[in-house]
Amino acid sequence: MNIDLHGKTALVTGASGELGRAIVLALARCGADIAIHYYRSKEKAISLQEQVARIGSKNCIVQADVTKQESVNNMKSIVEADLQSPDIIVTSAVIQYTQTEILDQSTQDYISQFESCILHNVLMAQAFVPSMISRGWGRVIGINTECSMQCFPTQSAYVAGKRGMDGVLRVLAKEIGKHQITVNQVAPGWMISENLPEDNEERHIVYKEKVPLGRRGNEQDVANVVAFLSSDLANFITGAFIPVCGGNVMPTI
């Protein structure tokens, strides 16, 4: 049983980030053509484009501010001109900020998380879902986080944005399911990456002790789930929130 995305086009926002890059490469290896979105990291996007080209997938890179409607619509025009309207959209971009307690957190940080978690997904859906409806097939995959279920101190702005994103995407799943379009979320834990490597610091040890599998995962673990949800193997899964965190959080019934 193989994941075959030949003939499909995927657009990944935040593709120049470490997780976005892993998702792009996984989808390309499954045969999808790829639109690589970036906001500021053009050099990283170009480097990723070269890797995708070596895999053999058609591709393009596109700059956009995913919190602005005009910019998202411009991205849509570029992707459709260079490739085609995406069959798969993966919303991985998010604004980074310094986390602190609610009493000290800037109100602008709450606005940034609303814009990059909630408005981002609304604008992407409005821009790209209509074409999916016309084809009677599509995949919307949002990258959430285990933090949405943890609600730890200092996470309030991030959690507020991601929980709002969860609400938007669950409603979207119910609204467009009749068109055979699935809407799902993947929620990574504290994954190993270049920026967050594996080491023996106390915080890493404490985290792993709480994970049932006893270790941290990596970005490929997340990308594998995204590839599965993008495929026909997952054609009867929608509205799901899937943690990829070794069991550190577990949605309950």
The per-residue pLDDT string of the chain (253 residues; one tens digit each, 9 = 90 and over) reads: 899 999 999 999 999 999 999 999 999 999 999 999 999 999 999 999 999 999 999 999 999 999 999 999 999 999 999 999 999 999 999 999 999 999 999 999 999 999 999 999 999 999 999 999 999 999 999 999 999 999 999 999 999 999 999 999 999 999 999 999 999 999 999 998 877 777 667 888 889 999 999 999 999 999 999 999 999 999 999 999 999 999 999 999 8
| Cα distance between residue 14 and residue 45, in whole Å | 9
Instruction: Phi first, then psi: give them for residue 64, nearest 5 degrees.
Output: -165, 150
Packed helices 120-135 and 156-176: angle between N→C axes, nearest 10 degrees = 20
Which one of the listed residues 38, 39, 110, 158 is annotated catalytic? 158
Domain map of the chain by residue range?
Answer: 9-244
Which residues touch 77 (CB under 8 Å, ≥6 apart)?
Answer: none
Respond yes or no: is residue 39 known to be catalytic: no
Question: Model-level pTM greater than 0.85?
Answer: yes
| Cα distance between residue 25 and residue 239, in whole Å | 25
Pick the CATH number of 9-244 from 3.40.50.720, 3.20.20.70, 3.30.565.10, 3.40.50.300: 3.40.50.720
H helical segments located in the chain: 18-29, 42-55, 69-82, 107-113, 120-135, 147-150, 156-176, 202-210, 219-230
Which residues touch 61 (CB under 8 Å, ≥6 apart)?
Answer: 35, 36, 37, 38, 42, 45, 46, 48, 49
Helix (H, G, I), strand (E, B) or coil at 100: coil
- 186 - beta bridge partners? 143, 242
The total number of residues shown for the chain amounts to 253
